[in-house]
Structure 1
Amino acid sequence: MQKGNTRISMAVIRRLPKYRRYLSELLDKDIHRISSKELSKIIGFTASQIRQDLNNFGGFGQQGYGYNVEELHSAIGKILGLDHSYNTVIVGAGNIGQAIANYTNFEKAGFKPTAMFEINPKLIGLKIRDIEIMDADLLGTYIKEKNINIGIICTSKEKAQDVANVMVESGIQGIWNFAPTDLQVPEHVVLETVHLSESLYTLSYLLKHKREEED
């Protein structure tokens, strides 16, 4: 991502949702102004890091005043594209697919699942909340007809690339992949892969080394 001719690192981009989450909590507590120093104590980043991150996107704070929490929360939402709504489909109605379908906060943020797709005939025709599970053979046609922006892949790794290919051919703009495999997509399609096992193994590493330090 770039601001003018300056490339903004993915490390900065990946910190923005955390900023927004903590700002949401401050608004829930009816806190409307906060300094970078106070924010650093809550989030765990240094005040300098916070100022540096936010300066990538323009000036938000005022010296002697700090940040307007509501304005900063709204601005970060716009930077993240959350001022738009996105039609999504979920492919794979197993545990992960159902969990995503049932997580209403995604819908509140503008990511609306309009349908789920499955190859298991026992699941086709059922509903998760009000989201119908449809035959996977209908995926491409549905994406084209319903103007779907984001495809969420929750299949086995063996099926995931085929599903991604159908999504790409049908005009999908972004793919959120939960299958335990790295997908190949054209440059014009945005791909974000969530490797649950890698995150768990990182936790295992940290636990191991914590035990070694204590010993």
Structure 2
Amino acid sequence: MNNSQGKVSLPVIKRLPKYYRYIAQLHKSGVATISSSELARMMGTTASQVRQDFNCFGGFGQQGIGYNVEVLEKEIGHLLFGHGEKLPTILLGAGRLGTAVSRFLTTDTNGYNLLAVFDIRQELVGHDLDGVPIHHIDELDEFCKANHPTVAVLCLPRESAKEVSGQLVELGIKGFWNFSHYDLSVAYPNVTVENAHLGDSLMSLGYRLRNK
């Protein structure tokens, strides 16, 4: 569905996965239609916000009786996952975090195709993570030039991410799912970055608990 109001703001984009989760569950439960007010109560927001968000993408065909749940799931799914094409992806770092992330990428339907994992440890080369082969980091250039991945998942320490990120951008990487603490969005403003700061999330939880 075409964006009817120019560039969509990041807060709206950030809400799309939550909409999708709730709507998919409604569809699975056999719910056929839902109003903006009902969906807003589930989301913890307002009916006006729901309508504004959906209007960014053309409104999703709202009728007087509410939104068609099956249509909502399909249309928001297309926005999040495309129309069947999967983004070619590589993962750097085969430690505990990388292992957990690779399992998520290979078992969840999320629009990504994990092609390869890279690590500095020679003893891991030739093994795999969830069926995805592990390569030595020295093979990164050759692999990227041959397979043209567009997404890199960084499960690396800050300094390692800082060292390799420029190389990845030069090799054609357009987006990062970044678990390091290196601020890629500042270093490469023309590359799309999704930072996943687990520590920040945990500290936010602590603040909210202590300051109720």
TM-score by length of 1: 0.89
The match for 1:178 is 179
- CA shift, 1:104, in A, is 5.0
The match for 2:52 is 52
SS in 2 for 1:6: coil
Which of 197, 200, 212 does residue 198 from structure 1 map onto? Answer: 200
CA distance in 2, matches of 1:103, 1:7: 30
The match for 1:166 is 167
Decide whether aligned partners of structure 1 residues 173 and 179 sit closer, same or farther in structure 2, where only a CA change above 3 A counts: same
The match for 2:62 is 62
SS in 1 for 2:76: helix
The match for 1:213 is none
2:115 is the alignment partner of 1:114: yes
Tell me if structure 2 keeps the 8 A contact 1:153–1:163: no
CA distance in 1, matches of 2:120, 2:198: 23
What are the Cα deviations for residues 106-128 of structure 1, in whole angstroms up to 9, with x where unaligned?
65222111110000122222111
What are the Cα deviations for residues 61-117 of structure 1, in whole angstroms up to 9, with x where unaligned?
434221111211121122235323111110000111110111156652221111100
Tell me if structure 2 keeps the 8 A contact 1:174–1:190: yes
Mean alpha-carbon deviation: is it higher for 196-205 or for 81-90?
A: 81-90
Letter in 1 for 2:73: H
Number of residue pairs the alignment of both structures matches = 209
Tell me if structure 2 keeps the 8 A contact 1:40–1:50: yes
The match for 1:77 is 77
Tell me if structure 2 keeps the 8 A contact 1:139–1:166: no
SS in 2 for 1:203: helix
SS in 2 for 1:103: helix
The match for 2:134 is 133
- CA shift, 1:153, in A, is 0.5
The match for 1:41 is 41
Task: Flag structure 2 segments of 5+ consecutive residues without an equivalent.
Answer: none
Tell me if structure 2 keeps the 8 A contact 1:87–1:111: yes
Decide whether aligned partners of structure 1 residues 4 and 67 sit closer, same or farther in structure 2, where only a CA change above 3 A counts: closer
- Pairwise CA RMSD: 2.0
Tell me if structure 1 keeps the 8 A contact 2:5–2:56: no
CA distance in 2, matches of 1:106, 1:191: 22
- CA shift, 1:59, in A, is 2.2
Letter in 1 for 2:88: N
TM-score by length of 2: 0.90
SS in 2 for 1:42: helix
The match for 2:91 is 90
Q: Percent identity?
A: 39
CA distance in 2, matches of 1:196, 1:104: 17
Letter in 1 for 2:22: Y
CA distance in 1, matches of 2:63, 2:71: 16
Tell me if structure 2 keeps the 8 A contact 1:106–1:112: no
The ranges of structure 1 where at least 4 consecutive aligned residues each deviate by more than 6 angstroms after the TM superposition are: none
Task: Flag structure 1 segments of 5+ consecutive residues without an equivalent.
Answer: 211-215
